[in-house]
Structure 1
Amino acid sequence: MGTVPAVVRVADLRLPGSRTARFEGRAHGSGVSYFFVDNDPGQGPGLHRHPYSETWVVLDGEATITLGDTTVVAHPGDCAVVPPGTWHRFVNSGAGALRMVCIHASEVMVQEDAAEGTAAR
């Protein structure tokens, strides 16, 4: 019989001062990482990129997503895929909360921010 995986509580993953949670897979025996985003209108990360793909799934609200030179609007049930190395960002462009899952195809998160031009983990 296999080992039963432990439940990871979202409250244990929340970023300080935020409703967004950060899950890095390596610490939990997973090959993927993710953010569970819970943003107010107007909130979202700055322009950045990763050396791996990222897949976004919108659960609630509206996200305006920039992928390179393309801007799209996504609604609940929509998903978007960001190819590796593509500069991207999103902002909550709706009237209520934006809830989405941002899945990183990596056991650790690696991010280069356009404003700083430096890689962060």
Structure 2
Amino acid sequence: MPRRDFDPASVTPDGRAPAKARLFTPDGDQPWRGHVHGEAIGGECTVLTYGNDTVGMGPKLHMHPYDETFVVVAGRARFFVGDQVIEAEAGDVVFGPKGLPHRFENLGPGRLQTIDIHHSPRWLQVDL
């Protein structure tokens, strides 16, 4: 059955042009492989990519003034979001509400690779 979640006539284009930006180079070996601010491409979300091959390694505890969505592309991770611990693997999506301290780590074996979607046109962060 085809989807029809809204009436196309109710949406008016706002004049923004389609855009492209480079998020990462496939041969990069640093954990933080790149980011694209939403404002650079006319969007409302900033996209980051993170990956590492070391079990237990991950970003430091930090927080944002907006929500963040994590997409686990490869491997397994343990997310610490507020007082909850969430284990996720390739294909899973984890949501981190704004204002909650969070971090994640590679559970192994092998590479952890994520796409991190910051619900803001600009990446804003406070390391704790």
TM-score under structure 2 normalisation? 0.77
Counterpart for residue 102 of structure 2: 88
**Corresponding position: 1:23 with 2:36:** yes
Select which of 64, 78, 89 maps to 1:64. 78
Q: Distance in 2 between matches of 1:87 and 1:3?
A: 34
Percent identical across equivalent pairs?
A: 38
Q: Distance in 2 between matches of 1:55 and 1:91?
A: 15
Unaligned residue ranges in structure 2 (runs of 5+):
1-14
Unaligned residue ranges in structure 1 (runs of 5+):
115-121
Instruction: Look up the SS of the partner of 1:110 in the other structure.
Output: coil
Report 1:1-121 matches (<5 A). Answer: 5-11=18-24, 18-19=30-31, 20-41=33-54, 42-114=56-128
Q: Distance in 1 between matches of 2:52 and 2:101?
A: 20
Q: Deviations over 1:42-93 (max 9, x none)?
A: 3211000001000011111011100111111100111111111000000111
Q: After TM superposition, what 4+ stretches of structure 1 lie above 6 angstroms from structure 2?
A: none
Q: Which has the larger radius of gyration?
A: 2
Contact 2:78 2:107 in 1 (8 A): yes
Contact 2:72 2:89 in 1 (8 A): yes
Instruction: Look up the SS of the partner of 1:10 in the other structure.
Output: coil
Change (3 A) 1:109 1:10: closer
TM-score under structure 1 normalisation? 0.81
Q: Distance in 2 between matches of 1:86 and 1:35?
A: 19
